Amino acid sequence: MGASREQFGSRLGFILAAAGSAVGIGNLVGFPVGAAKNGGGAFLVMYALFVFFICLPVMIAEMTTGRASQKDPLGAYTALSNASPGWRLAGWLSIITPFMIAVFYLVITVWIFGYLVESVLGNLDVLAQADTFGAFISGNSLFAYMAGVLALVYLILQGGVKEGIEKAAKILMPALFFMLLVLVVFVLTRDNAFAGVEYYLVPDFDKINAGVVNGALSQAFFSLSLGMGIMVTYGSYIDKKANLPTSAKLVALTDTAVAFAAGLMILPAIFSFNPNVNPDELSESSISMIFSYLPQIFLELQNSLGYVGASIVASLFFLLVFFAAITSLVSIFEVPVASLMSEKNYSRKGSLLLCGALLVIFSLMCAFSFGFFDFFSNFMHYAGSSKSFFDLVYDVFYDTILPLNGLLICLFVRYRWKKKGFNEELEQGAPSFKGSLLERYINFSVGTFIPFILFVIFINTVALKFFGTALIG
């Protein structure tokens, strides 16, 4: 190895950075509405079980692989498999996937940034109009907002692991928790708020079917930033004295707590600000919730708080979502950047500039999918409908490849790297973990039913997304 590897400065910094990655748009909007529509309390319990029994072992496997190898995902697969070509392929997949997810996640973050700026400037009334979103995503102001987001990501990542990623997480995450708390308290003290709480929490077991179970597990998996090489990369920045199982538990707990709290903000807000809401018509798509529906809900607040009051609440909300999105974007973009640095010995700056240039090109192709150029708007045709370039990237990388990557890392740690190396690494910094029930559970689950379940999800998604027939659901 050349220069010694960059490291997080503290265990708390590591946990906040990993939690910053995990807490994203999915937690703040996707989870609450998905939970409310799919069985309320019943969904919540199922989701929590999935997080702790299925996703947590995968997260621990990823972090351990990173720390043991002290390398990026490609380097980790290569080093721990003695350069087996098959596993190198898995390594490639786990750096291409985060790059491609960063491509479309950047576009969504840019939209959020735009909505934040517009609501701060007092344009909430415009945002609440039905055709604003369509015009915004195909308008030229988008490029200015994109430049702003890229500059911020560059600024954070060029500071490196400790002075960039960790410092940003230490500022942005507490601010995010605080804003979430303020908004939850504000919303819960409005009239009619408890109708939303009821809709969110009362269990309805009749709504649980195979499709909902599949959806809950996929949501948990994405929400914890698994299958993206992120936890491998962040794991490689932590020292051998850190207790990995405990850190992973804290990250999973924080992510789940934020998702749960977001439900106590979004649903009561919908019910309280607009009492005529028909809950069955709520869209589960985070995108249409954030950009088309919620601005209207915020505008309703002007009846009680005045326009300025409503704009302040909306701005706080968009700032919250923006912080969540930017910490996720930084974490996912760090994967290809770190890989180029260690595989090709690039400097951080050189690697950032090269990956950044590619990111801009692909992200523009995604942004162009929304009415700029027909070529990108109708890029391909599959499963009976026309798909844009954005849809293609989303379907292939976000929906399909993530569970495959999760499956591969499980098989890798258990059958290629082997139980002994994996356990030894896990036990470092966690002496009481040795021989514990959790250790035995992880060893068993990672080698058996977790990869099996991820395999079923992968096959089901391929059937559904590309052939239009669901095997389950």
Query: CA 176 to CA 186: how far, in whole Å?
Result: 15
Which residue has 């996912």 as its token pair? 332
Q: Which is nearer to ligand PHE, 7 or 225 (CB)?
A: 225
Indicate the residue type of 94: S
207-236 positions binding ligand PHE, by CB under 6 A: 222-223, 225
331 sits near ligand PHE (criterion: CB under 6 A): yes
Q: Could you tell me the end-to-end alpha-carbon distance of the chain, in angstroms, rounded to an integer?
A: 48
Q: Which is nearer to ligand PHE, 78 or 363 (CB)?
A: 363
H/E stretch holding 94: helix 85-120
Segment near ligand PHE (CB under 6 A); pick from 52-60, 154-162, 303-311, 328-336: 328-336
Helices 449-467, 402-411: crossing angle, 10 deg rounding? 160
Segment near ligand PHE (CB under 6 A); pick from 206-214, 327-335, 411-419, 428-436: 327-335
Residue from the set 13, 20, 24, 66 that interacts with ligand PHE by CB under 6 A: 24
369 sits near ligand PHE (criterion: CB under 6 A): no
Minimum gap (Å) between residue 25 Cβ and ligand PHE:
5
The DSSP code sequence of 233-282 is HHHTTS-TTS-HHHHHHHHHHHHHHHHHHHHHHHHHHHHHH-TT--GGG-
Which residue's CB comes closest to ligand PHE? 24
Q: Which is nearer to ligand PHE, 225 or 377 (CB)?
A: 225
Q: Which is nearer to ligand PHE, 172 or 430 (CB)?
A: 172
Q: Which is nearer to ligand PHE, 123 or 285 (CB)?
A: 285
35 sits near ligand PHE (criterion: CB under 6 A): no
Q: Which is nearer to ligand PHE, 39 or 229 (CB)?
A: 229
Which residue has 């109009």 as its token pair? 129
Quick check: 244 and 426 in contact, CB under 8 A?
A: yes
* Residues 6+ away with beta carbon under 8 Å from 462: 400
Residue from the set 21, 70, 247, 311 that interacts with ligand PHE by CB under 6 A: 21
C-alpha separations of 236 from 5, 99, 250 in Å: 8, 18, 18
Q: Which is nearer to ligand PHE, 36 or 430 (CB)?
A: 36
Segment near ligand PHE (CB under 6 A); pick from 24-32, 238-246, 383-391, 404-412: 24-32
Segment near ligand PHE (CB under 6 A); pick from 18-26, 206-214, 231-239, 389-397: 18-26
Query: CA 210 to CA 471: how far, in whole Å?
Result: 10
CB atoms within 10 A of CB 381: 9
302 sits near ligand PHE (criterion: CB under 6 A): no
Q: Which is nearer to ligand PHE, 328 or 342 (CB)?
A: 328
330 sits near ligand PHE (criterion: CB under 6 A): no
How many residues form the binding site for ligand PHE (CB under 6 A)?
Answer: 14
* Residues 6+ away with beta carbon under 8 Å from 190: 268, 269, 272, 273, 304
180 sits near ligand PHE (criterion: CB under 6 A): no
Site string for ligand PHE, 91-130 (x = CB under 6 A): ----------x---x-------------------------
* Residues 6+ away with beta carbon under 8 Å from 232: 62, 63, 65, 66, 72, 73, 76, 94, 409
Quick check: 128 and 298 in contact, CB under 8 A?
A: yes
Tokens standing for residue 290: 């954030």
256 sits near ligand PHE (criterion: CB under 6 A): no
27 sits near ligand PHE (criterion: CB under 6 A): yes
428 sits near ligand PHE (criterion: CB under 6 A): no
Residue from the set 232, 332, 409, 442 that interacts with ligand PHE by CB under 6 A: 332
DSSP alpha helix (H) spans, 274-301 = 286-288, 294-300
328 sits near ligand PHE (criterion: CB under 6 A): yes
22 sits near ligand PHE (criterion: CB under 6 A): yes
Quick check: 439 and 423 in contact, CB under 8 A?
A: yes
Q: Classify residue 197 by burial, with Cβ atoms within 10 Å: 0-12, 13-18, 19+.
A: middle
Residues near ligand PHE, by CB under 6 A: 21-22, 24-27, 101, 105, 222-223, 225, 328, 331-332
